[in-house]
Amino acid sequence: MLYLFRPFQLTGVKKILFLVCFLLYCLDALYRVTLQGLKISHSKPSRKQQISLSGLFLLTVCLQLCVVTNHFCRQSRRHKLALFFQIIIPGCLPLIVGSQLGEYFLYPTYNHLHVNPKGQLLFALFTPLIGVFLKVISRICVQRLYNITHPGYSYTLLSPLYFGSALIFRVLQADLGNLQSIIILGIIHGAGEVIERSAMVVIDHICHLVWKRTLAPWGSFRTPRRERLMADIAIMSMLSESIAIVCANGFLCLYQITYLTYVKDISLLTLLETFAWNTSV
């Protein structure tokens, strides 16, 4: 909230936001301590424990957004509800989808395909389509917040989605292991990124028409505010992709150095050479 809004915009609600966060994080800590007191291990939490912790986190975010919505919107409940969802969709949807979908679908399915390298490659190839769908929805929501957010800081709501999706998909690419598969996936993924960025205006315009269910002339959706957001997204995409590549390959190399050098007698120089090749490719 402090990054998205300017300090004068949050005058009168900063203390309330801090109090909401403080009370609910205390409740979260009390829940974890209670589990330890009952001798319930939290190193491998059950599904119910994970749902409870995720519910507390989501409740914290929803209460913060309720405070912000009431502060900015003095209109009807319908307008308040629309503003609430326009903020929560780009800000929290990536966290929910990334944690739940990644943990219970993407990575388990990918690991089950370890006996079929071509299946892993195809799975890693088409998985980014989920991110494209979420990016379109989130961009339109952010563009609708023109009356409360500064154009230069609107990208803050999209940063979790762009950095998170880049990291998730680059982990899948780094885990392929085969340099030829990494090259194929990198070329196709890069071409897809170029096409998606080039067709961003058309995609957003069509989705805007579907959302509003009204016709609008071409070019009406290209405002100076939107062009500023597109420039920020382009910069953020380049940063997130390069950072995700280095992080994914770096952590994989660090894991191999820590756990596999003594087991499989792999030299440190070989691991560093593999990291350099994969990251460069």
- Which pLDDT belongs to residue 243? 92
Q: Which of 206, 210, 169, 208 is closest to 188 using CA atoms?
A: 169
Give per-residue burial for 136-153: e unless 16+ CB within 10 Å, then b: bebbbbbbbbeebbeeee
- Measured CA to CA, the distance from residue 19 to residue 26 in angstroms comes to 10
Determine if residue 256 is left, alpha or beta; phi over 0 gives left, psi from -120 to 50 gives alpha, anything else beta: alpha
Cα–chain-centroid distance for residue 40?
31
CB atoms closer than 10 angstroms to residue 193: 16
Q: What's the pTM value of the predicted model, to 2 decimals?
A: 0.80
CB atoms closer than 10 angstroms to residue 5: 18
By the 8 A CB rule, do 61 and 88 touch? yes
Q: Nearest 5°: phi and psi at 116? A: -125, 90
By the 8 A CB rule, do 249 and 177 touch? no
- Measured CA to CA, the distance from residue 140 to residue 211 in angstroms comes to 9
CA angle 273, 177, 169 (to 5 degrees): 110
- Measured CA to CA, the distance from residue 95 to residue 91 in angstroms comes to 8
Tokens of 32: 């974890």
C-alpha to C-alpha distances, 234 to 72, 163, 220, nearest whole angstrom = 29, 12, 21
Q: Nearest 5°: phi and psi at 254? A: -65, -40
- The string of pLDDT tens digits covering residues 125-169 is 888 888 788 888 888 888 888 888 888 888 888 888 888 888 888
- Which pLDDT belongs to residue 19? 92
- Walk along the chain (281 residues) and give the pLDDT tens digit of each residue: 788 888 888 888 888 999 999 999 999 889 888 888 887 766 666 777 777 877 888 888 889 888 988 888 888 888 888 888 888 888 777 777 776 777 777 888 888 877 777 888 888 888 888 878 888 888 888 888 888 888 888 888 888 888 888 888 888 888 887 788 888 888 888 888 888 777 777 777 777 777 667 776 766 667 788 888 888 988 998 899 899 999 998 998 888 888 776 666 777 888 888 888 888 88
- Measured CA to CA, the distance from residue 55 to residue 60 in angstroms comes to 9
Tokens of 185: 């996936």
- Measured CA to CA, the distance from residue 122 to residue 93 in angstroms comes to 25
- Which pLDDT belongs to residue 219? 63
The helix (H) or strand (E) run that includes residue 103 is none
